[in-house]
Amino acid sequence: MNDLYLNNEIKEFYKNDFENSLSSKDDFWKIETPLVNFLTKINSNDGVQTLYSKYWKGDAFRNSYLVFCYKIDLENKLFKEIVPRILSKFNELNKCSCIYKFNYPRNNENYNPKRKLGFSCTDNKDHFRINHIKLDIKSRDISKHNEFWNSISKELMNL
């Protein structure tokens, strides 16, 4: 699969999908209330767009994560500065781990042609066919999750 980066046309598509998801009535797939402000800040940057996210709700999995795509001219700064800074900050904390995963364009594992929920991340088989990064934090301390979201929103908004 060839590299594909965020551009103005793709940004508009994902931005519209994000705005649509803000008004969703589906509790499982809607964006969690604590994330709305953080994701809105991130998406205000023309060079970055959120694709998928989760806010820890006290469940056994203990993780919050963000999946986002970006314009090609931001790639070096992301991998040489931003991602290492976030990983370092949260991996230095007690009982906290933070990892990242880079993905080339790939299949959408949430896609099911028999189910239409009104979200690109579920209804569009090409939703993840773009270079993207996943940042994931695991901790049982909600304050660490909140700091994670504060940090990544500031980093990505100002990138």
Quick: pLDDT tens for 50-107.
998 999 877 766 899 999 999 999 999 999 999 999 999 999 999 999 999 999 987 7
**Token pair recorded at residue 42:** 């991130």
Cα distances (Å, whole numbers) of residue 139 to 31, 42, 103, 108:
20, 23, 24, 27
pTM: 0.90
SS3 at position 135: strand
CB 65 within 8 A of CB 108: no
Taking the C-alpha atoms of residue 48 and residue 159, their distance in angstroms, rounded to an integer, is 8
